[in-house]
Amino acid sequence: MVSKRKYIFTIIVVVLLTAFVTLTLGNVFMVEIGQKVIISENTYRKLKEMHDKYAKLENIMQIVHKEFLYEADDETMLEGALAGSLKALGDPYTQYLSKEEYAALRQDTEGSYEGIGVYIAPSDDNKILIVSPIEDTPAEKAGLKTGDKIIRINGTEFTAEQIDAAVKIMKGEPGTSVTLTIQRVDSNGEHGIFDVDVNRETIKIKSIKAAMIEDNIGYIRITSFDMQTEKDFNNAYKTLKNKGMEGLIIDLRYNPGGMIDSTVEITNMFLDEGIVTYTKAKSGEIQYYKSDSSKEDIPLVLLINEGSASASEIMAGAMKDTERAILIGTKTFGKGIVQKVQRFGNEGEGIKMTVSEYFTPNGINIHGIGIEPDIEVQLNEDAEGYGYEFYETDNQLQKAVEVLKEKQ
């Protein structure tokens, strides 16, 4: 006879063993019996949900292969589906990147590429907006300006939804040219449309231009924030300081932005210990970018305008909130969101996606708003250009020099 205690113990062991085997086989392994595979109910439900979700795409591809007049490639259609999924989000800064587009974007951040030299973005009216031409490039030499809109390329109409295709056409072999149809609004609000031929060149982006202007006032222009900008800025700053610089003008006009780490490191040079900026993600996670206690104590003026965007506005916002510098010029572009570029897939594709919004030290998000200058000065219409090379007609730069002289 089996004792009651031993009987109960045996039952418990059998129950636990059965539960373990069922859980293991049902959720980890598939059991193959003849021509059938037995899976757990949970796994079946997940597979059915996946099938139902993507059945329409599979059906469309089958219909295409059966009825579409021309050749159709599955990989091309799948890539289009991926691109369309991100495009449907309605964010012009979020996009799927083909292998070629991903490689080109990585190349741009390294400081060189082949094309015409212009930063573009989608406009509110679904056109391709020129944020700024890059200095000393074919785009600038051809007279393209911030606020211009590209409506046709080589006679073919392009909208903001086709911005990637537009970029592919504008880039190309050095020595060739591209014809852009430009829509421009003049000072009277009148819309003009004209064609301009722009040559393609190897664009080597010089993100830093420096000079000593007068009365020991230094000038550093930052055209964009890329991988080399921090190092080049530091070298330029040390050179000017060795020449006796007593005040500094940082020119961010027509700087469309770039890498957040680069602008934070440069801004850090001039701030006391505190916050440069912080970002907030969908999950509520906040990432702080802080400055340390090591500070270059020199009078500062920042020049800004409608072409100053993104990373430029991080610097401008930090300087304004902390009252570390005087901002002179016109209101900035107003891009207060951050994109993350990441590798996707196994063949070099990528995704660029808006993942967070950034805030100034005082908790202000300037997206769609911009940053107002402390002293508003419009660049004279008859100015021959902007920057230290055009000092005689650059009245914004002249005002910056005047303000620094008063502080000395």
What average pLDDT score do residues 20-24 get? 44
Query: Which entry of 224, 262, 291, 310 is annotated as an active-site residue?
Result: 310
- Asked if the domains 112-204 and 208-407 are classified in one and the same CATH topology, the answer is no
Tell me which amino acid residue 32 is. Answer: E
Tell me which amino acid residue 165 is. Answer: A
| CB of 266 closer than 8 Å to CB of 207 | no
Q: Taking the CB of residue 53, how many other CB atoms lie within 10 A of it? A: 9
pLDDT at residue 249 is higher than 70: yes
Q: What is the pTM of this model?
A: 0.70
Which of the residue ranges 13-22, 30-39, 167-176, 305-314 would you say has the lowest mean pLDDT? 13-22
Higher pLDDT, 109 or 138: 138
| CB of 162 closer than 8 Å to CB of 190 | no
Please, which pLDDT band fits residue 138 given cuts at 50, 70 and 90? very high
Counting Cβ atoms within 10 Å, is residue 237 exposed (0-12), middle (13-18) or buried (19+)? buried
Return the percent helix, strand and coil in the chain, to nearest 5.
35, 30, 35
Please, which pLDDT band fits residue 109 given cuts at 50, 70 and 90? low
- The third-level CATH classification (topology) of the domain covering 208-407 is 2-enoyl-CoA Hydratase; Chain A, domain 1 (3.90.226)
Query: Which entry of 127, 149, 335, 399 is annotated as an active-site residue?
Result: 335
Q: Where are the beta strands (DSSP E) in 116-200?
A: 118-122, 128-133, 149-153, 156-157, 177-185, 191-199
In the residue annotation, 310 being an active-site residue is answered as yes
Which of the residue ranges 253-262, 343-352, 363-372, 398-407 would you say has the lowest mean pLDDT? 343-352
| Cα distance between residue 108 and residue 92, in whole Å | 19
* Per-residue pLDDT reduced to its tens digit, 215-242: 999 999 999 998 889 999 999 999 999 9
**Short-list 306, 336, 330, CA closest to 318:** 336
Q: pLDDT at position 19, please? A: 44
CATH placement of domain 112-204 = 2.30.42.10
Q: Taking the CB of residue 205, how many other CB atoms lie within 10 A of it? A: 21
Higher pLDDT, 315 or 189: 315
Q: pLDDT at position 22, please? A: 46
**Short-list 267, 245, 249, 213, CA closest to 403:** 249
| CB of 86 closer than 8 Å to CB of 333 | no
The β-bridge relationship of strands 326-329 and 337-344 is: unpaired
Contacts (Cβ under 8 Å, ≥6 apart) of 398: 391
Q: pLDDT at position 110, please? A: 61
| Cα distance between residue 33 and residue 187, in whole Å | 79
Residue ranges per domain, the chain? 112-204, 208-407
What average pLDDT score do residues 57-86 get? 90
What average pLDDT score do residues 100-115 get? 74
| Cα distance between residue 374 and residue 329, in whole Å | 8
| Cα-Cα-Cα-Cα dihedral sign, residues 352, 356, 361, 367 | positive
Contacts (Cβ under 8 Å, ≥6 apart) of 372: 327, 331
Higher pLDDT, 226 or 324: 324
* Per-residue pLDDT reduced to its tens digit, 92-105: 889 898 887 888 77
Q: Where are the alpha helices (DSSP H) in 28-119?
A: 41-67, 74-87, 99-109
What average pLDDT score do residues 168-190 get? 88
Query: Which entry of 226, 232, 251, 321 is annotated as an active-site residue?
Result: 321
Question: By percentage, how much of the chain surpasses pLDDT 90?
Answer: 56
In the residue annotation, 335 being an active-site residue is answered as yes
Which residue is it, tokens 């993942």?
355
Q: Looking at the chain, how many residues does it have? A: 408
| CB of 248 closer than 8 Å to CB of 298 | yes
Higher pLDDT, 53 or 12: 53
Write down the mean pLDDT value for the chain. Answer: 87
b (16+ CB within 10 A) / e for 274-308: ebbbbbbeeeeeeeebebeeeeeebbbbbbbbbbb
